[in-house]
Amino acid sequence: ILFCQCLFFVSKRVFGFVLFGPMDDVGYFSVNCCLVHFHPNLMILKYYRIDELQIEWGRPFNEVATLLEDVKKFKPYGGWPNIRCRCKNVFGLATTESEVRAPFEDRPVLQVQYELAPIKPGIFQKLHSPFMKQLRKVLGKPNRTESLYRQHKLPKRYLSSVVVYSATWIFGDVRISLSVYGDTREKDSGKAAAGIFIDWIDEKKAAMPYLEKSRTVEEMLSAKITGNMPLRKFLLSDDQHPFTVVHFELADPYIAEKDVDLRAAQMALYKRTLYQTPKYVSDQLELNEVALYSIPDLNQTFISNKWDTAPLEAEEESQLILYEILPARGPGSRQLRLNDLVIRDSRTSNALISLAEEIEGRTGLKIERKEGYDE
């Protein structure tokens, strides 16, 4: 800090102007002819940037949407709530757009993506070379790189659909990834030759503001359930499994199955009305059983497997659907989606049909029937 203050003073007194400007998003000062490294990658741990706008990690999607109100927008993609907007650069590379994504509008942004404008490679360079040259200056040596050029022997017209080179940097709670496309992609924001993805990967920290609500509901359910409460149990052909998010990029993709706190964080982040099953109910269930029961004090009916519980209620965004998945490439199956809880079973079993009928009779809710093929 003292060095930079001295540089500021000397440059202004001697040259009549300041050699360096404001700090950028990874802890560098911009300089006329070079970069003065202040503190490596400190700032990216605290916030991400969309041009001059810096946004703290942890801010909910709806707050970020307000911050981006005056920025030019493009048509959003499907899936998670997302905003695509104009962006000029990231890490010193020209961009055509940025995109922020979150599980729900009231949950924090967990991923920011930037589409990079094409850079013509030099002689004997590959497509990724100019991007990596700049990113190594700013981010340093990546934790991992992967060259995929030899895996894609496609006609040129299909090359834009594949990734030919990737690199990953890890800085504490933040993962930065580069994906270089096999050819330029045409988007409504302009031509894109590569993408940068910045992910906030500490799910426990991201879920902290939402865990209290989940724990309150779970404690209330445990207090209301008594030893003489009748459970209507249904025996399935297939074992059920606890809800977890699998991260294939980790050394142990299934770590949430072993980490109770991480699983609770994932439930709070990625589900609205999914809770850990009360111990009394869990103890009564086998791996291939689910239970339907009502709590009179709450005037509410619940469905549980051994790990997860969901209230049965009709809301604007409710999904109450029984899927009949017919054999095709696969053998087919049945799935019953009860909002945030999904129960899967074999087509040789009629348990889900019986369960759906009982739910309709007990609650008055209507469960939609749909068919599809096991592709």
Q: With a cut of 60, say whether residue 2 has pLDDT above it.
A: no
Give me the residue label for tokens 């991992």.
144
Residues whose CB is less than 8 angstroms from the CB of residue 123 and which lie 6 or more positions away in sequence, other chains included: none
Confidence of residue 42 (pLDDT cuts 50, 70, 90): low
- Average pLDDT score, the chain: 89
At 117, list the tokens.
């404008």
Please write the tens of the pLDDT for every residue from 255-287.
Answer: 999 999 999 999 999 999 999 999 999 999 999
Half-sphere exposure of 213 (CA within 13 A, CB side): 11
Whole-number Å distance between alpha carbons of 323 and 300: 24
Q: What does the pLDDT average to over 308-332? A: 89
Q: What does the pLDDT average to over 5-32? A: 40
User: Strand, helix or coil at 206?
Assistant: helix
Q: With a cut of 80, say whether residue 197 has pLDDT above it.
A: yes
Please write the tens of the pLDDT for every residue from 131-176.
Answer: 999 999 999 999 999 999 988 778 888 899 999 999 999 999 999 9
- pLDDT at residue number 150: 85
- pLDDT at residue number 29: 40
User: Strand, helix or coil at 149?
Assistant: helix
Confidence of residue 41 (pLDDT cuts 50, 70, 90): low
pTM for this prediction: 0.83
Q: With a cut of 50, say whether residue 20 has pLDDT above it.
A: no
Q: With a cut of 50, say whether residue 62 has pLDDT above it.
A: yes
- pLDDT at residue number 316: 61
At 295, list the tokens.
């709590």
Contact between 294 and 301 (Cβ < 8 Å): yes
- pLDDT at residue number 335: 97
